[in-house]
Structure 1
Amino acid sequence: MHSSKRKHIVVPLVLYCPLATFANTNPVAADDRLETVLVIGEQIKAALQAEQALTPGNVTVIDSADLYQRNIANLGDMLRYVPGIWTASGSTGDSTFFSSRGSNLDATNYDGNGIKLLQDGLPVTAADGNNHNRIMDPLGARYATIAQGANALTYGASTLGGAIDFTTPTARDTEPQIFLNDGSHGQLQGRVTTGLVAGAFDGLITIESKEWDGFRDHHQQERKGVYANAGWQFDDVVKTRFYFTYLDNDQELPGALTAEQFDENPYQAQPAAVIGHYQYNVETWRAANKTIFDINENSSLSVGFSYEDQTLYHPIVYSPFFSLLINTEQKNAGTSLRYNLHVNDHDLLAGINYGETTVDGGNYSHEAGRRKNMTTHVKNNADSLEIFLVDRWQIAPRWKLIYGVQAVSAGREVKNITVADGTLYNPGADYDSINPRAGVIYQFKSNNEAFANVSRLYEAPTNYELEDDSSPDNKALDAMHGSVIEIGARGKRPLGTHNKLHWEFSIYYAQLQDEILSIDNPTAPGTSLSTNVDDTIHAGIESLLGASFSLDANNNHRIEPLLSVTINEFSFDDDSHYGNNELPAAPGYALKGEILYRNSNGFFAGPTFDIIDERYADFSNTYTVDSYILLGLRTGFTHADWEVFGEVRNLTDKEYVSLFSVRDRAAPNAAILQAGEPRSVYVGMRLQF
């Protein structure tokens, strides 16, 4: 990768600034345009919150307008305050390890399974359930809805972790704007957004570029992207929207360190990563369409299609005896249908998701990141059909009964051919299940409600897990399945004239059978071995508490605290080998929060904190990764058409482990540790036209 050249960002921004200005040469006055954008944006947010209120479980809605007041470099930054989600980054710029309710806690965490990702309700996650190479840009979403666990039924998901749906901004809810972000470790990010609204037509395009040197050796990143969408309102009944995304992301990987190397210098690169020039280069383009038919005031139908092509070039293992470079092309095609009907006290939602994924390419040997001979030809296929029906029934003035069912039919086929001798490794299977769900919501008063649900979870293996199956024959892994019960509450409450409080709280307990877990293969480092585990328990508490308190009678000075609390209890359940050991990777608790002072003139400032419990790095619970506490500071100004921010992270310059590999029994000298971010300073500005 070439060294950073910031002109690569600045020049495109300068060239596209006139476009942003031109986009506002609109017969509608600027103030009227801004007011219209705000109204439409609030309408969309209100619709998402209405869906949240119809779900008898934990759902969090993120408004991207809040993200421009702090440094957002990856999904982990976006999901920082979402309870129940554990994120960690360290090896790469954009890539983030994320786990929801204990999903993905093993050596194949790179496949990102357990959480279904969608964009405007259309699938982004591959048909086999993996999120490998999914570079979702958090600033490319207008809103994000995080439905934990079985609460993602209305998205067609029954996965352990649930679903995240990213709502795309449009020219009708987004002002033309420029965003610049600079800071430590050579980070420089620029985005230009411009749009057009002309009667029934609207279009929006964002061009972005990012460069990052990284806080470790051999850690650089260069990314460029284009995000565009255009919509047409045919009449009062039919409207359609087309989406297009292109991303070109090149990253160097610094590799993992031993404890001794970490103590010596946590920001050095693994020697093999430098010699082997480990990289993670992904080029992706995606096109989609969604058409909505408002049949009448009580019913609507939406139909969507998406297609994605993705190329991966990934040197990842290098030694004198063995090297591995993955070079594949993945194609994903999906379709989605939703029908919503209101009949008396019933709100019915029926849906179908269908997806197909193919992966073609292979594993190669390499020399310093340059591809050499193919060792394994890879040609994998997957398909998935999800059908669901849910009824939100107002059975009494304060009571809603929510019940539904999902049917899953999925196919997996792995076809790996060893080039040297033609040996075929060909596990495959079909997976079918019926997954019911029932819940209840009690509304105390406006915006305050309690809920409970019991649901079935079901998750078929990814093709990555089938490739890593520890079984000596071609027998495929079983699907994970189990049941979960959840109770909780959410709401908003005014406290006097100027003060207010909001909260989300949930307790869940899941018993799982045949959970798929993997360990690092000791005979081939960098690869994994997967197997089904008889019984595991996933339980936890998820809580988000926020408030706004006025410090004076005129409400010019305010204090706004925010606290996200996640408590995890993930363990084996009387396992013949591991007993009741804890599952690795996720901490026992994670507390993240901030306390901001806000002035009516737009100024804000305050501290942030992270309090993270220790974690195990192996299933045997013999290797412990230490707990840590991080302190930070945020400040800035917000205005109607501009805002600036400054952020300091890790004020005390704490050296800590953010990310690590999972082993069966990790040796004291195992190279598994990756450092978190040292003391860092970031500034940013957004200007709207």
Structure 2
Amino acid sequence: MSSRSPFRPRHALCLLACVIAQHALAEDRAVQLKAVQVSDEQLDEKEQAKETLKRVPGGTNLVDLDKVEQGRVSGNADVLAYQPGVYAQSPGNEGIKIAIRGSGINRGTGSHASGNHIMLDGLPLTGSGGTPYELLEPLWLSRVEVLRGANGFDKGALALGGAVDYITHTGHDAPKLQLRYEAGSHGYQKRSVSSGQAIGDFDYYINLTDSHYDGYQDHASGKGKGVAANVGYRINDSLETRFYLRYRETEHDIPGRLTKAQIEYDPRAAAATSMRIDAQRDQPGSTWLANKTTWQIDDDSKLVVGLAYHHYPMDFVENAYRDSAYRIRVDYSDVSGTLDYTRRHTLFGLDSTTTVGLRSTTNLPSSTSKENATLPLTVDGTTYPAGTLMRDYEHLGSDNVLHIGSELELSPDLWLTSGLALIYTRREVEVTWPVNDYKLSEHTWDYAPRLGLRYQLNPEVQLYGNLSRSVEAPHPWSMIWGSNDYFPAGSGPATGRYRAPVSLDNQTATTFEVGGRGDSAFGQWDLAYYYSLVRHELLSAEIAPSVPRETNASPTVHQGIEAGLSSPLWDGGAAGALSLRQAYTFSDFHYRDDDTYGDNRLPGLPRHYYQAELRYDHPSGFYAGLNTQYASKMAVDYANSYYADAYAIFGATLGYASPKQDWQTWLDLRNLTDKRYAATVSPGYNDNGADVARSTPGEGFGVYAGVSYSLR
């Protein structure tokens, strides 16, 4: 849809409201029964989460890890599979690329992933520098909640992609003891031991994991080990508190990216530039400490206060700078605070729920970076030895969001949602060595309103629509890496490196969304359409191997369809049951009359993405499934001069889950036809039709098996 279309989101929202109102007035109101309300106290945590997400007037997902763990769980690409509206692909390691509604479409798959607000147990993990992946170990989780787009409003999430909340097990839902072991192709192994239980008003959970993999590509091995724990205490009937700990260390090689021809003929090869250096690094380890305290003030009001400390130093190597390589050591740390107040009351004689929330995340002053040459470096005829300091710089930031929202019950089946968020961001960036003659300091105020309708058409069908604005500030580090101001000749080892930061605008988007969810003869369904007008979109492109540049784009459009369907195909009673689950995401992301690229598609994501699983379950606990994944071709440069091929891959799962919920074992077969394809791409500006090394290969044929034992 181009900018010349007569489509207006606000007109469509008004039309939806009129249709809903007419339907409501047409109903016979001689007898009107209040809908039966189920108390949250009667539901477990997952059921509560499901009911809460149903009250959001927009697209959401709930991932139950009990189901995910019936196969290999190597990373978050496995966790977020079969989720409409969520594109999650691994580039061969833990740093997966997650895109929701085109969020962070080309802004990193690893330690600085962007575009979504990631949370741990309702508390921020994402900081001003992005989202590191080291602490996102899936075996620590009970469930994942995804609020797509502006539907993450009540979480204080205003990024285009919305909020993804990773919820850890507690002593209330964890086995007293659980042992799990996975192993398979390409040297893959993962072990986990955990324990959790509730003892009176006290409960605890602890999980230790370690993993190792050789990787599908050469020079792609890695390993990790870590611990997650939390302790909860119910002080009295109205006050409870919980303390959280996550710590994890990783080590990994970097295989680099390949051309399409290399993926077709030798997908397991590593890039030549990566083989020249020993990129494997024992990462210093990331730590996350937090507390969340809940005060049930009375039957109608609740206050939740949270505080989190996150320390995530990183040590990695990049290459292809003056035929050398450089080591970057970053020492990030930040502190986050949250406050959420909820109250049920009446407004104009109507039932209403008001929420007030505050989220603040601030980098501590220790967030600095150093660059050192890892190979001998020759500049202006002088050769500097490995280890030479090239550059020091610092990047600090803070994100502060105050949001106020209301849900007003206009009638027993119709709810109006409204809200307003005020956003204050700070970015301070400076190169401190060899000179510090330019410091960028920016302080920005912005706002994000939200308006939505939710209508329960009948007990099985819910319709919704919303109109929202999102705001996403640039990362401080991208203000350096987006610069075109370099140290001049004569600057020694810093020659040619970025000298001064560049100012970047906040990315904003106005999004209209309409959709519905419910049950039918075909099964449980979820369908959403969204249309976003994006200004100053933050986009990255590689100007050299592993050297990105991030800039603000001219106006762009993001629109798409997100559809999910889980269908019971056959119920044979004692003979078992057959079911089919499907997820389809249509993504149309393009420029609006850009001076250089016209209406070109934005590269990096497929236009069509489809996943499905046909599964048989027997009452004895045996299950078997066939699955498929299809992705259409995707552009690898902004000029749309070259594309990665479309692909379809197939897999199968066999397993047994004891009805007593103690023993479980499974066999997971991946990519049965050994299809060779590009899983992710890191685009350039204009490759002029050339096959440039911009792609990471998807995993080839693999066999994985696992077993777990739980004592409850």
Are 1:364 and 2:357 an aligned pair? no
Partner deviation per Cα, 1:531-550 (whole Å, 9 max, x = no partner): 21120000000011002233
Aligned partner of 2:181 in structure 1 is: 180
Q: Is the Cα–Cα contact under 8 Å of residues 40 and 172 in structure 1 kept in the other structure?
A: no
- 1:572 alignment partner, one of 562, 583, 591: 591
Aligned partner of 1:67 in structure 2 is: 68
- CA distance in structure 2 between the partners assigned to 1:440 and 1:279 by the alignment: 51
Aligned partner of 1:166 in structure 2 is: 166
Q: CA deviation at 1:351?
A: 0.5
Q: Is the Cα–Cα contact under 8 Å of residues 108 and 528 in structure 1 kept in the other structure?
A: no
Provide the alpha-carbon RMSD of the alignment: 2.0
SS at 1:234's partner residue? Answer: strand
Partner deviation per Cα, 1:185-225 (whole Å, 9 max, x = no partner): 11110100112432111111101110111111111111101
Q: CA deviation at 1:84?
A: 1.4
- CA distance in structure 2 between the partners assigned to 1:368 and 1:306 by the alignment: 41
Greater mean alpha carbon deviation, residues 364-373 or residues 190-199: 364-373
SS at 2:48's partner residue? Answer: helix
Partner deviation per Cα, 1:367-398 (whole Å, 9 max, x = no partner): 39997122111221111111111111111011
Aligned partner of 1:653 in structure 2 is: 674
Q: Is the Cα–Cα contact under 8 Å of residues 107 and 520 in structure 1 kept in the other structure?
A: no
Are 1:78 and 2:79 an aligned pair? yes
Q: Is the Cα–Cα contact under 8 Å of residues 278 and 317 in structure 1 kept in the other structure?
A: no
Aligned partner of 1:19 in structure 2 is: none
Q: Is the Cα–Cα contact under 8 Å of residues 273 and 318 in structure 1 kept in the other structure?
A: no
- CA distance in structure 2 between the partners assigned to 1:508 and 1:532 by the alignment: 22
Q: Is the Cα–Cα contact under 8 Å of residues 479 and 502 in structure 2 kept in the other structure?
A: no
Aligned partner of 1:389 in structure 2 is: 404
Greater mean alpha carbon deviation, residues 325-334 or residues 581-590: 325-334
Are 1:329 and 2:331 an aligned pair? yes
Are 1:546 and 2:547 an aligned pair? no
Are 1:434 and 2:447 an aligned pair? yes
Letter in 2 for 1:506: A
Q: Is the Cα–Cα contact under 8 Å of residues 108 and 465 in structure 1 kept in the other structure?
A: no
Letter in 1 for 2:616: Y
Q: CA deviation at 1:48?
A: 1.1
- CA distance in structure 1 between the partners assigned to 2:700 and 2:157 by the alignment: 37
- 2:653 alignment partner, one of 621, 634, 640: 634
SS at 2:47's partner residue? Answer: helix
- CA distance in structure 2 between the partners assigned to 1:631 and 1:566 by the alignment: 18
| Aligned positions of 1:255-334 closer than 5 A | 255-279=256-280, 281-282=282-283, 283-318=285-320, 321-334=323-336
Q: Is the Cα–Cα contact under 8 Å of residues 279 and 316 in structure 1 kept in the other structure?
A: no
Are 1:608 and 2:616 an aligned pair? no
- CA distance in structure 1 between the partners assigned to 2:619 and 2:108 by the alignment: 48
Partner deviation per Cα, 1:233-261 (whole Å, 9 max, x = no partner): 11101100000011011011111123343
Greater mean alpha carbon deviation, residues 361-370 or residues 174-183: 361-370
Letter in 1 for 2:217: R
Q: CA deviation at 1:520?
A: 1.3
Distance 1:407 1:629, change over 3 A: same
Partner deviation per Cα, 1:409-439 (whole Å, 9 max, x = no partner): 01011122343xx254533311211110000
Q: Is the Cα–Cα contact under 8 Å of residues 183 and 681 in structure 1 kept in the other structure?
A: yes
Aligned partner of 1:16 in structure 2 is: none
Letter in 2 for 1:203: Y
Q: CA deviation at 1:151?
A: 0.5
SS at 1:142's partner residue? Answer: strand
Distance 1:431 1:134, change over 3 A: farther
Q: Is the Cα–Cα contact under 8 Å of residues 41 and 173 in structure 1 kept in the other structure?
A: no
- CA distance in structure 2 between the partners assigned to 1:232 and 1:253 by the alignment: 43
Are 1:452 and 2:465 an aligned pair? yes
Aligned partner of 1:238 in structure 2 is: 239
Q: Is the Cα–Cα contact under 8 Å of residues 430 and 436 in structure 2 kept in the other structure?
A: no
- 2:518 alignment partner, one of 456, 471, 491: 491
Q: Is the Cα–Cα contact under 8 Å of residues 656 and 676 in structure 1 kept in the other structure?
A: yes
SS at 2:275's partner residue? Answer: helix
4+ runs deviating over 6 angstroms? 368-371
Q: Is the Cα–Cα contact under 8 Å of residues 597 and 605 in structure 1 kept in the other structure?
A: yes
| Aligned positions of 1:518-529 closer than 5 A | 518-522=540-544, 525-529=545-549
Letter in 2 for 1:387: L
Partner deviation per Cα, 1:148-200 (whole Å, 9 max, x = no partner): 01000010111111010111111111112111111111111010011243211
| Aligned positions of 1:148-227 closer than 5 A | 148-175=148-175, 176-227=177-228
- CA distance in structure 2 between the partners assigned to 1:600 and 1:474 by the alignment: 62
SS at 1:233's partner residue? Answer: strand
Letter in 1 for 2:405: V
Aligned partner of 1:105 in structure 2 is: 105
Letter in 2 for 1:545: L
Partner deviation per Cα, 1:461-494 (whole Å, 9 max, x = no partner): 111321122465655111111210000001134x
- CA distance in structure 2 between the partners assigned to 1:428 and 1:471 by the alignment: 18
